[in-house]
Structure 1
Amino acid sequence: MQTSLRGTCRTIGLRSAAFVLVTAAATLAACTTNPAPGLPSAGASLNQTQPSGPSRWELVRWQQADGTLRDIPHGDNGQPIIFEFNDGIDAAQGTVSGTSGCNRFTGSYGKTDTGIRFDRVAGTRMACPPPRMELESALLKAMETSFVTVGTQPSAGSTGRQIIWKTASGDLLQFVEREGVGRRGARMDAGGVEKTVYIDSQRVECPGVGKMMCYRWRESPDAAWQLWYGPIEGLDFEQGVSYKLRVREYQVPNPPADASAIRWQLLNVESRTRAQ
């Protein structure tokens, strides 16, 4: 796939396997900030296989305007930065929610001629370690102004669709579509195994690559507690409340060192009980 840029800027080739962001950043830095007529935009279809309904995107790379890469730390239990678009990324407008590095956020989104904008973004106010708080602050600040789409890719073999957005400060954010919509009531992926799990009312510190907070879970009310290192996609966990959940369990191929090899996607909250 190729992205054309205005004036003396040369065409950027994007490998089928991944985006060449370093080349893109160098070229964009030399270009005018006015978008080129042929520049791929969020209005251009990514040829998604599901034409409507939620889609889930993970921030996998952040290249700053000077060409350096920004570290993207994962959350306490391995969750990445996720944007969940209720009507899909190709919809003209809708609502968006997800995780911004430390907290969960909600807001709205809408198409522009050159990309996408986010409005009325609000989030929870949990404190996290400085690297995650700094990243979250930078991301939320960037979302105050529109993003320009500078590259899209329908798919890359086993990798989902990809998109690169340029922020007002010149940073390049690369997102990859992920399986699972991560929200209750939405269409679930085929496959996986359904199971019932019981979640304790408090998360606990658990060993890992770094300091982590894990759920405690068990398969029946009288079974021993076990640690759950991964996220529970779609669960708005409330401290002090225990849950009985119906989930779909998936195996994760080649998970990161600090993430779980199993993924849980929420199907239904069977019950919730506030601890005495």
Structure 2
Amino acid sequence: MQTFTRDTCLRFARRGAAAAVLAGALGACATGPAPESTATAPALNQTQSSGPSRWELIRWQQPDGTLRDIPHGDNGQPIIFEFNSGIDAAQGTVSGTSGCNRFTGSYGKTDTGIRFDRVAGTRMACPPPRMELESALLKAMQTPFVTVGTQPSAGSTGRQIIWKTAGEDLLQFVEREGVGQRGARIDAAGSVEKTVYIDSQRVECTGVGRMTCYRWRESPDAPWQLWYGPIEGLDFEPGILYKLRVREYKVPNPPADASSIRWQLLSVESRTRAN
């Protein structure tokens, strides 16, 4: 059997190889030799600064090579893990969305990967596919994950990591925009702080294509406006009205399909459930 190194595993994933090839590569990762201890393996932050980071689950491969569907929330929310001290920290707190509900807990490094402790979440009911995936994910988080592949960021592609669960599933995460995203550079001198009010639901809008936008305003009695970009660091919960303190900054040389103005969350001033 051909042996795939950690870098080889994620090179297949980053290049968008055909499903059969990628399944074979990740299968070799699952059945190949045990991964190195993280004490000697290259850390993800060798070329990045430390700090909070935000990761999205983009692929779930089962032991037989089949893929689980990863449904998003009602407003397109992905499954997100946000690590307050960064994914390479010895320990810290983790929060995010697990498919249906929001969760919080703690995490810590192990010799071969990562463990999660004291994970608790909200108890909202969702359609069966999301509930089933969430139950499987939370169950998997009860035992440590083994790191079988990592890939530093390259160009517009975020850093990636593949963890193997105790049940031999392979979970692939990619770093996304969010509070403290490593590699994000903000010109603080050219930024401004402002207070914004965010509506309880995102709405359909049209940018380069069909998408969903936040509705925002500068005061409680001002008219609603559309915000087409992300609010970096906001773990948005539908049905909640937010008053936020954000930093607004200009993005140098933004992509053609992205805004040149972005918001980074500084603090949540208030959150109120909509009537």
The two structures have a TM-score, normalised by structure 2, of 0.73
**2:197 alignment partner in structure 1:** 198
> Structure 1 240/170 Cα, relative in aligned 2: closer, same or farther at 3 Å?
closer
> Structure 1 42/65 Cα, relative in aligned 2: closer, same or farther at 3 Å?
farther
**2:112 alignment partner in structure 1:** 114
What pairs up with 1:121-132 in 2 under 5 angstroms? 121-132=119-130
RMSD, aligned CA: 4.1
Query: Secondary structure at 2:26's aligned position in 1?
Result: helix
Unaligned 5+ segments in structure 2 are: 206-210
Report how far residue 39 of structure 1 moved: 6.5
What pairs up with 1:79-158 in 2 under 5 angstroms? 79-158=77-156
Is the Cα contact below 8 Å between 1:97 and 1:105 reproduced in 2?
yes
**1:221 alignment partner in structure 2:** 220
> Is 1:26 the counterpart of 2:27 in the alignment?
yes
Question: Which 10-residue stretch deviates more, 147-156 or 44-53?
Answer: 44-53
Report how far residue 261 of structure 1 moved: 11
> Structure 1 156/236 Cα, relative in aligned 2: closer, same or farther at 3 Å?
closer
Partners of 1:222 and 1:166 in 2: how far apart? Answer: 50
Identity of aligned residues (%): 75
**AA of the residue aligned to 2:27:** A
> Structure 1 218/132 Cα, relative in aligned 2: closer, same or farther at 3 Å?
same
Partners of 2:122 and 2:180 in 1: how far apart? Answer: 18
Is the Cα contact below 8 Å between 2:198 and 2:215 reproduced in 1?
yes
**1:245 alignment partner in structure 2:** 244
Partners of 1:180 and 1:219 in 2: how far apart? Answer: 22
Partners of 2:168 and 2:14 in 1: how far apart? Answer: 20
**AA of the residue aligned to 2:216:** W
Query: Secondary structure at 1:47's aligned position in 2?
Result: helix
Query: Secondary structure at 1:145's aligned position in 2?
Result: coil
Partners of 2:74 and 2:228 in 1: how far apart? Answer: 9
The two structures have a TM-score, normalised by structure 1, of 0.73
Is the Cα contact below 8 Å between 2:49 and 2:183 reproduced in 1?
no
Report how far residue 272 of structure 1 moved: 5.8
Match of 1:181 among 170, 179, 182: 179
Is the Cα contact below 8 Å between 1:197 and 1:220 reproduced in 2?
yes
**AA of the residue aligned to 2:152:** P
**1:3 alignment partner in structure 2:** none
Unaligned 5+ segments in structure 1 are: 1-7
Partners of 1:157 and 1:272 in 2: how far apart? Answer: 36
**2:208 alignment partner in structure 1:** none
